[in-house]
Structure 1
Amino acid sequence: MNKPAAIVMTKKSSIDFEDMNLQVGVRLQIMSSQSATPAVHYTTLIGFVPGEYLLLKIPQESSAMSEGENVIIRVFSGVSVFTFSSKVESVVTAPRAFLLLAFPSSIQKVGLRKAVRVKANLPVKIKNGPDPQNFKMATLSDISLSGALVSTARPLGTSGDLIDIEFTLRDQASDRDVTINTTASIRSVQQSAGSTADGATFHTVYSHGINFHDIQAANQVILQNFVYETLLVHRT
């Protein structure tokens, strides 16, 4: 069985603001540090002056942040997550809407291992040959940077076989859906019993542990962000 790997983070390290190499337009997570179970909101960096302040777009939930509120910011970059605390110094609504935040004094960098898996429930197409209309639908039950667990009603093959798959992820940087096509090899196949949501009907489920082979670099970044955002949202 291709079991999900344990969630492991490398030791946190303190870094300088410049080390994050933040670019205007990057998507960020922002949440209140004053709540035991803070809601995660998404925003965009629209500018900063080193040592003085940050400018962020106001999240769609206009009441999400208020002046004087202490917040936590998370930034996803490559195989690392940067986290820092700040304070909302001003909520500006005219002539342009933005948040003015205090410049962070301490930034933490967390490295995440490639084998970290997160739960997913993503539809995936299993392609059969060059005909785009010839495919089977399945479910990605979990996913990592290097592979996934695919659940189907019929076996896709045996260990060592290659399959072509297609699935869609949400790209937070551009706020759009991106379709990922890749070849994968089957590592393992396990048969188990499944049931409908109401438990009335039982059926056989085939779980395939697969390894990705050739995901494009741009799509690899999108996959990284999906894995890390899912992981961190469930840890908040």
Structure 2
Amino acid sequence: MTVQGGFRRLHLHPNIEMSKKAKIEFEDMNLQVGVRLQIMPKQASSPTVQYTSLIGFVVDDYLLMQVPQQDGKPVETAAGAEVALRVFSGVSVFTFDSRIEAVLSKPRPLMLLSFPTNIQKVGLRKAVRVKANIPVRVVNPTNRELVKEATLSDISLSGALVSTPNPLGAVGDTIEINFSILVQSQNEEVAISTTASIRSVQQAVGTAPDGGAFYTVYTYGINFLDIDATHQALLQNYVYETLLIHRN
């Protein structure tokens, strides 16, 4: 025996594309031991997304996973429950249904799940944008000591909307930005640095929380220029995870 590390039909957002491949095989997911997956009960009226990790599997037999944790304690999980799982693998997202066949409390809280038979694969277009509130540091490449604080108010695979009370440049200028995103599927925060091109500039009037002061708010539409492949994949996962969280 070799041990290695569905949703009901997924209703896709208009900007999410279904894979052209008719049938997705288990091997296509290329699951590695330790990979994190979203898991959600199918019968719940208000299902909550939790996270689990793959411990191992036997092809065509079962999956072995950790019981989800919340506040450091195992989430109550019952044998016989039908669940849906999502896994973010590189630039692809896979979803499948499964059944919890057994829950073990010793020596660790583990779950034995039925082997997936109906797997779906989805991808994201670069234009998909999600709302965000991510602090970002903006560096002027011609004067690297000049650093300005701003906020990414939305983000996509190809660019973002930057809001700031400080002017950053004109259309066509190149800026350097540094920000971090929380990648739920890997349970860690990842720092991303890239250059970006300013594609649009808008100005509006903002007010202080007490309503007693007015100031100019600059909004910049930017396109990312040189995010490396690893960070591009993580950013895709972040966008997709955020989209799913807002839809559930």
Q: What TM-score does the superposition give when structure 2 sets the normalisation length? A: 0.86
SS at match of 1:10: strand
Partner Cα distance (1:200, 1:54) in 2: 59
CA RMSD, aligned part only? Answer: 2.1
Partner Cα distance (1:200, 1:71) in 2: 52
State the 1:11 CA deviation. 3.2
Answer whether contact 1:7 1:116 (CA < 8 A) is retained: no
State the 1:198 CA deviation. 6.0
2:28 to 19, 29, 43: 19
Indicate yes or no: 2:105 matched with 1:93.
yes
Superposed CA offset, 1:92-148 (max 9, x none): 111122111111121111222111111000000011358876411100000011110
Aligned to 2:7: none
Percent of residue pairs bearing the same amino acid type: 58
Structure 1 residues 198 and 11, CA, compared in 2 at 3 Å: closer, same or farther? farther
Aligned to 1:9: 16
2:87 to 58, 75, 82: 75
Partner Cα distance (1:105, 1:198) in 2: 57
Answer whether contact 1:46 1:56 (CA < 8 A) is retained: yes
State the 1:78 CA deviation. 3.0
State the 1:190 CA deviation. 0.9
Superposed counterparts of 1:163-178, under 5 Å? 163-178=175-190
2:132 to 109, 113, 120: 120
Structure 1 residues 210 and 89, CA, compared in 2 at 3 Å: closer, same or farther? same
Aligned to 1:3: none
Aligned to 1:29: 38
Aligned to 1:231: 243
Structure 1 residues 199 and 101, CA, compared in 2 at 3 Å: closer, same or farther? farther
Partner Cα distance (1:163, 1:41) in 2: 37
Superposed counterparts of 1:126-205, under 5 Å? 126-129=138-141, 134-197=146-209, 201-205=213-217
Given residue 66 of structure 2, which amino acid in structure 1 is its aligned partner? K
2:65 to 44, 47, 56: 56
Superposed counterparts of 1:101-120, under 5 Å? 101-120=113-132
Structure 2: 5+ residue stretches without partners: 1-12
* 33-42 vs 157-166, which moves further: 33-42
Superposed counterparts of 1:206-221, under 5 Å? 206-221=218-233
Given residue 234 of structure 1, which amino acid in structure 2 is its aligned partner? H
Structure 1 residues 200 and 38, CA, compared in 2 at 3 Å: closer, same or farther? farther
Structure 1 residues 200 and 81, CA, compared in 2 at 3 Å: closer, same or farther? farther
Partner Cα distance (2:141, 2:154) in 1: 25
Partner Cα distance (2:191, 2:245) in 1: 23
- Across the two proteins, how many residue pairs are aligned to each other? 231
Q: What TM-score does the superposition give when structure 1 sets the normalisation length? A: 0.90
SS at match of 1:19: helix
Aligned to 2:10: none
Given residue 118 of structure 2, which amino acid in structure 1 is its aligned partner? S
Structure 1 residues 202 and 24, CA, compared in 2 at 3 Å: closer, same or farther? same
